[in-house]
Amino acid sequence: MLPVMSQSTCTQRLRHAVPSCLPALILALSCVLADTAFAADPTTEAHACRSIADARARLACYDAAFGLPRVERAESHDAAPADETVPAAPPPPSQAPALSGVERFGLSEAELRARTGGQAAEPEQIEATIADVTRRGAGGAIFRLDNGQVWMQTDSRHRNRITAGQSITIRRAAMGSYLLSNGQVAVRVRRID
């Protein structure tokens, strides 16, 4: 026969049992919710699309994964059949003048695209002669080169050490910056024109 417990003893045991089970209950519920959220995540389906070799099938897989609507082709007598590949039109000739490597050097990607229409990358360094130096406050300077480029000193080291008439080298440095060197000192610069 089972021992009979009073109602107060049963209530006390229940009060102690619920808090001790609460963390396990929360953990189980969070696992179920996380699994549901993970299964509904389109990026997990998209990872499976990577392995599809056929380009059209891969595109259809990505469209299905991200819920993009399928665009049906309009039936017309002008439309090319789905099996045929339509050759791409040749790109229009660029109206922008071609820039040499020296002219491209130091331009940002946006400026380079605007001036050239997306030509090849710039050289790693250029050599020039300082045509003019304009001193700024806080020790900086603006250097006008014999090739027409204008560079601004961005650090305040080595004030008045680089002068007009000196042969210099500007080279690409770390994190997209540039160093102007006269062979004795180097200062960090940015192209402004």
The rounded distance, in Å, linking the Cα atoms of 39 and 78 is 43
Q: What percent of the chain has pLDDT over 90?
A: 19
pLDDT, residue 83, reads 52
CA distances from 150 to 80, 98, 192 (A): 53, 20, 6
Q: What angle do CA 90, 96, 98 make, to 5 degrees?
A: 95
Assign residue 175 a region: left if phi > 0, alpha if psi is -120 to 50, beta otherwise? Answer: left
pLDDT tens, 160-185? 788 899 999 999 888 888 999 999 99
In the 3-class helix/strand/coil scheme, how is the chain assigned residue by residue?
Answer: CCCCCCHHHHHHHHHHHHHHHHHHHHHHHHHHHHHHHHHHCHHHHHHHHCCCCCHHHHHHHHHHHHCCCCCCCCCCCCCCCCCCCCCCCCCCCCCCCCCCHHHHCCCCHHHHHHHHCCCCCCCCEEEEEEEEEEECHHHCEEEEECCCCEEEECCCCCCCCCCCCCEEEEEECHHHCEEEECCCCEEEEEECC
pLDDT, residue 126, reads 93
The predicted model scores a pTM of 0.42
pLDDT tens, 24-69? 767 766 765 555 555 445 555 556 677 788 888 777 777 776 665 5
Nearest to 170 by CA among 99, 104, 97: 104
Q: What is the mean pLDDT of residues 106-132?
A: 76
